[in-house]
Structure 1
Amino acid sequence: MVYTTPHRSLPRPTDAPTRPRPDRVVLTTPAHFDITYVINPHMEGHVGSVQSDVAWQQWKALRAAYTALDMDVHVVDGAEGLPDMVFCANQTLPYYNPETDTAGVVLSRMHAPERRDEVPHYRAFFDDQGYAVHTLPSEVPGSFEGMGDALWHPGHAALWGGYGFRTDVDVYEALHDLLGVPVYALHLDDPDFYHLDTCLSVLDADTALYYPRAFDDDGRALLEHGFSTLIEVPEHEARNLFACNAHCPDEQHVLIQEGCTITESSLREAGFTPVPLDTSEFLKAGGSVFCMKVMAW
């Protein structure tokens, strides 16, 4: 049930049971956001360059955009000494089981030592909210970075999983066992696209944004099997403006870094409404809209 290569009898993600889309947005304040180390190529040359007041305004605009879309917004305070905690897609994988009407999260195992102390803060938040909290089995090796690499197929109980940089492919077998869902695992081989959410944005059950050169042949074939419409993002907008780190919370509006003019045009042609936002301070650290939130039920 973890698929890494295409084959004739491969089921489609839409064959999986339906699930409601999540409607709770969790954001983390940038109170301690900074660049104090380098753990991805985008951070190179940006240590100490964050303008904190600008970052706060950009974060507030993102929060306002979700509020304007009638999303249920929750805020976690950033912690001192954890400058990347604002990128709260990475520390957990939320899930929902409609058969038991239960929501939960699987905690991440962060790849970089600098980020490992972020996870307990989200464990405490979700535990306080009444979620079931799970850890990966100790016998399963390797790291896992939550919704940075594991993306739910919209409206269905199936996962897209990236591996190669921050998440190990063996983790997806454990997630399949724990959650009972198929996983379509995609190998990432360009360090600029170190998380799946930097090169793939799932918009609805049939449509996704992607940068095809971030994937190998098998990965591209799996994506072509899983989506009837793939919107290709040009290299500059993918690599430098993080266009694929966009987020579509409602199958209509796409929150995206401003300046992605070609991608915005493609989104309009496909029937979506782009909502451009300035996340330039966060781009310096290798993240944009999708990295800055986690969706839960």
Structure 2
Amino acid sequence: MCEPRYFAVEYSINPWMDPSKPASAERAVAQWRELRDTYRRLGHTVDEITPQPGLPDMVFAANSGTVIDGRVLGSRFRAPQRAAEAEHFRRWFVEHGYRDLTMPSKINEAEGDFAWTGRLLLAGTGFRTDPEAHAEAQEVLGVPVVSLRLIDPKYYHLDTALFVLAEATDSTPAQVAYYPAAFSAGSLRVLRRLFPDAVEATDADAECFGLNAVSDGRNVVLPVEATALGDRLAERGYEPVYVDISELRKAGGGPKCCTMEIRK
């Protein structure tokens, strides 16, 4: 994770960003710290990277790396405003002992568009990550990749429209939640074939960034407004844990955007 010390909405690279509306770095830091501390209360380890001036979106650490079985695929951003973030995260991995690290040749916004299910890597495209980056991810990470096309610019990254509730095990399939209207017709058929028991989110769930959630297989950290989605998850046996990300959402981010999941 990366503290939003320099958080601001100075440009617009997604429909949620409006530079004419005020944004508070102080409030963003307070919300981010509560998210970080929530993970720690749930028993998770949180590593932090030092924020850098001039990179107001560096808080969205999910976009800077995909780590599966200790292999790291870095990122390459589409927006020039975020391009420099990739090198800071690359250095962090090197300094922390990750030797199996590859920087991509194709535009790849990491866990923003890659979701690991325990058996498959679901890979989004349509607005940010290049389709060719999906094949590159398969080659680098050595896992099968399923491509999904996003069609609504409000849900420009896969992690705004889908999250993994529980990774697959030897005896149980993966469980996911997703927002059907964010996907092309063919991609939606793929999702329904792969995950017939998925939680399908509503418009209201998606609009409050309810799909930008983080699950450890039991606890699901999601925005405080996503109570309807939380209730449906509770019916499935999950524990919803609510956090306020209203300031961070001004830049198009939520709990998942702020969180890179490192699978060693």
TM-score, reference length from structure 2: 0.94
Q: Is 1:295 paired with 2:261?
A: yes
Letter paired with 1:188: L
Match of 2:41 in 1: 68
Match of 2:112 in 1: 148
How many pairs were matched up? 256
Match of 1:219 in 2: 187
SS of aligned partner of 2:176: strand
Q: 1:237 aligns with which of 205, 218, 222?
A: 205
- Say what the alpha-carbon RMSD is for the aligned residues: 1.2
Residue-by-residue CA offset, 1:84-132 (whole Å, 9 max, x unaligned):
0000000111121xxxxxx131111100000000011101111011112
Report how far residue 217 of structure 1 moved. Answer: 1.6
CA distance in 1, matches of 2:258, 2:141: 24
Report how far residue 47 of structure 1 moved. Answer: 4.2
CA distance in 1, matches of 2:84, 2:25: 22
Q: 2:232 aligns with which of 263, 266, 270?
A: 266
Aligned ranges for residues 1-297 of structure 1 at < 5 Å? Answer: 27-44=1-18, 46-47=19-20, 49-96=22-69, 103-131=70-98, 132-137=100-105, 142-153=106-117, 155-156=118-119, 158-204=120-166, 205=168, 206-239=174-207, 241-248=208-215, 250-296=216-262, 297=264
Q: Which runs of 5+ in 1 are unaligned?
A: 1-26, 97-102
CA distance in 1, matches of 2:3, 2:109: 19
Letter paired with 1:273: E
CA distance in 2, matches of 1:84, 1:211: 24
CA distance in 2, matches of 1:178, 1:221: 27
CA distance in 2, matches of 1:80, 1:119: 14
Q: Which runs of 5+ in 2 are unaligned?
A: 169-173
TM-score, reference length from structure 1: 0.83
Residue-by-residue CA offset, 1:29-68 (whole Å, 9 max, x unaligned):
1111111000000003x44611222111111110111101
Report how far residue 267 of structure 1 moved. Answer: 0.6
SS of aligned partner of 1:224: helix
CA distance in 2, matches of 1:221, 1:151: 18
CA distance in 2, matches of 1:72, 1:119: 22
Q: State the identity %.
A: 37
| 8 A Cα contact 2:71 2:141, kept in partner | no
| 8 A Cα contact 2:7 2:24, kept in partner | no
| 8 A Cα contact 1:34 1:48, kept in partner | no
CA distance in 2, matches of 1:232, 1:172: 24
Give runs of ≥4 in structure 1 deviating > 4 Å. Answer: none
CA distance in 2, matches of 1:277, 1:87: 16
Report how far residue 79 of structure 1 moved. Answer: 0.5
SS of aligned partner of 1:202: strand
Letter paired with 2:212: N
SS of aligned partner of 1:65: helix
| 8 A Cα contact 1:36 1:48, kept in partner | no
Structure 1 range deviating more: 202-211 or 283-292: 202-211
SS of aligned partner of 2:108: coil
CA distance in 2, matches of 1:110, 1:51: 25
